[in-house]
Structure 1
Amino acid sequence: MCGRYANTKSGEELGAYFEADEVDAVAMPPSWNIAPTQQVPIVVDRVPKDDPDGMPSRLVTAARWSLVPRWATELASKYPTFNARSETVTEKATFKNAVVRSRAILPADGYYEWHTVDGPSGKPVKTPHWITDPVEGELAFAGLYSWWRPPVAEGAEPEPWVLTATMLTRAAHGPAASIHDRAPVMLLREAWDTWIDPTVEGDAALVDMVVAESETVLERLELHAVAPLRGDGPHLIEPV
């Protein structure tokens, strides 16, 4: 799983890196300690509303990190939806519709994972690690998105739509497997276009493809132990 990560790049920087056509005018402050339900940057491709056969355009925008399907009656979920297991994502009601045409990239400088061992007293001791890609310097997590708003009562004004997102996870591989058994699915640059293209109908085969390709990124990751995550700032990624 991945429950904490960092993004310190502005929307404009992400737009240039991911070759976006547009960057939404939304606040994307740098954070070294992004947590579920917070706003995070995402990259999506969209088909023009007035031209369904037109070329998709790429947008950098912000979404709530924890996907809420359109049919849900509440924004808060009884179970975590900030991660979606790649092995079952096409089967789970919460995620399967988004796989078809609502796929996204969640950009990150890096992410955190905790290594758990038994301490001297027998209680588990968890040590956070900072994990990055030394080749690209940027991670592109395979994600999904969904628009949601509360059900509209008769005679009431509808509330605004909320954009929500999740990231796919897989069995860990490479250096990060030494500390945890799960890892985010990380897209190769060559896979960006296909993954977020809304004209490509997503299915289990597409998910399996990006999962398999992600091993290239997983094999080159670097990691080091860091202090317990408290607050926010660049000090959180300093090695201990």
Structure 2
Amino acid sequence: MIKIRKLSKFIKYQQPLEIDNLDMNKGLIYSVLGHNGSGKSTFLKILYQITNYDKGDIDINGEGFYEDIVHKYFAYNPQQSFFLRGSLKDNFDYLYKYSKNDKLLSRDELNNLIKEFNLNYRLNTDVRKLSGGEKAKAQFIRTLVLNKEFNLFDEPMASMDFKTIKLVEKKLIELKENNKTVILVTHDFSQAKRISDEIIFMENLRFIGKFKNKDFFDKLKQDLF
């Protein structure tokens, strides 16, 4: 479980990002919704310790919130994919050669994902020559391979085609079915309605609330936000 209490992050020339009280359980898909600038991506960066926060407390599975705890439990799929120089295969190989994570998916599972996402014919391609959609697929696969309990996705499908989006949604649901937690930042309210158990709604750097899927969309329909 992730527990957040009285969290504040000061942002220059803006009001602080504030999350008063938020719990996230295992085995659920949470969609983080809100307009641009509402703090959604910053929220994920705080959870992955890319960005510091100024006040409050975060606790992961009752073990605190330290670098080792974050690396133990979290995988993070950023908006912008980052790769090492070399081929796509080199980048996947790097994980298995240097990662200290003993829970990585097997090579066979990786190869199956590569085939599912139709990247097998691009393995020997320099990553700099991959399209935006191909890079997004590779980043998503790399996140799955880490096989973590909490999975943070920041707009992972922004540059994907419709067929790939459906495959990604299927994989997110499979994570949930394996009792893993998905925290998905998305602008796609229809997608959130399709696959989410709960909605985290943010506006103007404020956490408005956490809602059951149906409750959120009923309120949205009634224009209560």
TM (norm. structure 1) is 0.26
Higher strand share: 1
Identify the structure with bigger relative contact order (alpha carbons < 8 Å, sequence gap 6+).
Answer: 2
Higher helix share: 2
